[in-house]
Amino acid sequence: MNLYTFGKALVKTVLTPMYRFEVIGAENFPKDGGILLCSNHIHALDPPVVGMTAPRTVHFMAKEELFKAPILGPILPKVNAFPVKRGMSDREALRTALKLLKSGNVVGLFPEGTRSTDGVLKKGLSGAGFFALRGNADVMPCAIIGPYKAFRKVKVVYGEPIRMEPFRERKASADEVTEAIMGNIQKILDEYQENK
């Protein structure tokens, strides 16, 4: 058992008694090929929760500050995370993400770039659209619906994959693709958020 598999099992064991997770749409997840997994970001637990619920191994792009943390830092590379500087303008991170996508892997990122303090979906960074267009990958939109409160339900909803070929054919811009990704995430939020 590798550390990723062990970590996934550990996260599930630790978090499941605390939160009532409901995973919706996991069957929509493509079984193979490069996939850019894009989710909203509402809590520090989002990366392990997405990693725990995704049907495939996810390589997460994480802010480089986390790799300097005393305990967490050395573990992150072993669970398939790789560092990125704020703003997604880090060339090494760009190369790593594109290589992973072109090799048929799943790369996970949070296009907002930081957590939303009020739960409202923010504007996405153009880096998400860049990866989707250049990585020969389709996009899996995901929405995490909290709040993360003890013994309350947390929904993780996977939407329908967004096919990138039509965007590539008409030479869409990275901003346009990012807007489409965020629109899909918002659509999931609108459909599955309660008390609306």
Which two structure tokens, joined as six digits, stand for 65?
A: 């500050």
CB 155 within 8 A of CB 110: no
Contacts of 37 (CB under 8 A, 6+ apart): 50, 54, 58, 106, 107, 108, 109, 139, 140, 142
pLDDT at 10: 83
pLDDT at 88: 52
Global pTM? 0.91
Which parts of the chain register pLDDT below 50? 196
Residue with tokens 């590798």: 2
pLDDT at 92: 84
Where are the chain's structural domains?
19-194
Topology adopted by domain 19-194: Glycerol-3-phosphate (1)-acyltransferase (3.40.1130)
Task: Give residue-wise pLDDT tens across range 152-190.
Answer: 999 999 999 999 999 999 999 999 999 999 999 999 999
pLDDT at 87: 54
